[in-house]
């Protein structure tokens, strides 16, 4: 079964101000930013407050955001229950080279460490699994691309809730086990940071935790950030670290997010809007009544309004922070012409605001894919590919 991830994204993901990243050139590539300390205020001392405490210079984060540029997700591989279990894996060297040749700048590689790590102390990650992830990161870097690895589908924590029958948005964490979960995540990230310490900070980015919700409440997510970030910095002082937010990385989650006062970080929301269009029939179950996105004036204005709202909120809480939209996409259910229009408008808005992004996804990802790994072994949707890279 080809599962993209969780089947529901609640609202929208985040974009941000033109100041948040570098600008972009005529080809839509994010350009290297210049320092503007007067525009770069500090992160608030606590979530819910937009009063800056210390001025943060996000130049390092912006430089990496420029390198990430236009990217794609190789999902349903390392984030699956096994690398080949969901149809997209195993990852092949030739696939990475094909992505690079097309003109992408980065590959986001979602990784499910949960199933490859001991449940009890000392929480050791499988050496074979670590080596395999590093091999693929090496392929990505050798192709001239930036690699992003994260903690994806950490189900043991996400699903450990006190009220499992409630909707995800109303679920409460099982606090009896929270400290053990956090200790395990600390141990996992300690091993990852140590194992990848020899990989250039210009070629590899860490993303702390994908789409926290359910058992990973906003408070526990913030506790995780506070504990794990120093662990990463101990062995990777120059590594860029990305952070999502609660409620499936919906941009409004930034209101509860407590980020470190560090200039080499990136905020990474997701964007699947409008949900009745972008998410319809994922996992190859198109509904009887299809929703299309025609690029009407009203549709474009709605998307632009959402981007502008994201901009305002991001800068209210963390002025100047660079943003990467780590996931966005639309299933084929609405038709390729609609998807091309939707992607074209998304890329335009991202370009205007200097936003980097990673499209979901490459192959066999529940209807979002643009590459055929099984038959033709080439790009199956060149129209969407061109819309992404033009």
pLDDT in tens, 231-261: 999 999 999 999 999 999 988 889 999 999 9
Residues 40, 57: Cα–Cα separation, whole Å: 6
DSSP 328: E
pLDDT at residue number 157: 98
Evaluate if residue 224 carries a pLDDT over 90: yes
pTM for the model: 0.88
Residues 174, 164: Cα–Cα separation, whole Å: 10
Give the number of residues written for the chain: 390
Evaluate if residue 346 carries a pLDDT over 90: yes
Q: What is the mean pLDDT of the chain?
A: 88
Tally DSSP H helices, then E strands, for the chain.
Answer: 11, 12
Cα-based torsion angle of the residue sequence 227, 231, 233, 239 in order, rounded to the nearest 10 degrees:
-100
**Dihedral sign computed on CA atoms, order 189, 192, 198, 200:** negative
Residue appearing with tokens 């009407």: 296
Number of C-alpha atoms within 13 angstroms, CB side, residue 69? 22
- Can you read off the two tokens belonging to residue 307? 């981007």
Evaluate if residue 222 carries a pLDDT over 50: yes
Residues 327, 272: Cα–Cα separation, whole Å: 8
pLDDT at residue number 87: 97
pLDDT at residue number 54: 58
pLDDT at residue number 311: 82
């Amino acid at each position: 079964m080809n599962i993209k991830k969780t089947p529901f994204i609640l609202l929208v993901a985040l974009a941000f101000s033109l100041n948040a990243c570098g600008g972009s050139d005529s080809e839509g590539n994010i350009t290297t930013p210049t320092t503007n300390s007067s525009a770069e205020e500090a992160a608030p001392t606590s979530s819910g407050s937009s009063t800056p405490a210390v001025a943060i210079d996000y130049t390092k984060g912006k430089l990496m955001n420029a390198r990430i540029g236009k990217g794609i997700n190789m999902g349903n591989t390392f984030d699956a229950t096994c690398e080949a279990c969901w149809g997209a894996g195993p990852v092949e060297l030739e696939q990475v080279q094909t992505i690079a040749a097309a003109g992408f700048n980065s590959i986001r590689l979602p990784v499910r460490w949960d199933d490859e790590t001991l449940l009890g102390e000392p929480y050791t990650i499988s050496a074979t699994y670590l080596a395999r992830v590093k091999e693929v990161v090496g392929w990505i870097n050798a192709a001239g691309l930036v690699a992003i690895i994260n903690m994806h589908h950490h189900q043991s924590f996400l699903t450990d809730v006190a009220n499992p029958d409630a909707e995800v948005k109303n679920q409460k964490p099982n606090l009896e086990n929270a400290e053990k979960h956090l200790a395990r995540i600390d141990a996992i990230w300690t091993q990852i940071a140590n194992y990848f310490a020899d990989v250039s900070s210009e070629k590899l980015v860490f993303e702390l935790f994908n789409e926290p919700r359910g058992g990973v409440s906003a408070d526990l997510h913030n506790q995780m950030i506070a504990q794990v970030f120093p662990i990463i910095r101990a062995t990777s002082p120059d590594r860029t670290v990305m952070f999502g937010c609660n409620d499936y990385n919906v941009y409004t989650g930034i209101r509860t997010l407590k980020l470190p006062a560090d200039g080499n970080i990136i905020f990474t929301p997701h964007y699947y809007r409008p949900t009745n269009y972008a998410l319809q029939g994922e996992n190859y179950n198109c509904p009887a009544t299809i929703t299309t996105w025609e690029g009407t004036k009203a549709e474009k204005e709605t998307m632009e309004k959402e981007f502008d709202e994201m901009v305002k909120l991001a800068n209210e809480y963390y002025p100047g922070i660079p943003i990467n939209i780590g996931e966005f996409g639309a299933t084929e259910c609405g038709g390729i012409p609609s998807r091309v229009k939707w992607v074209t408008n998304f890329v335009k808005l991202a370009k205007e605001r200097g936003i980097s992004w990673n499209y979901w996804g490459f192959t066999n990802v529940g209807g979002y894919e643009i590459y055929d790994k099984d038959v033709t072994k080439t790009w199956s949707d060149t129209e969407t590919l061109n819309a992404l890279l033009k």
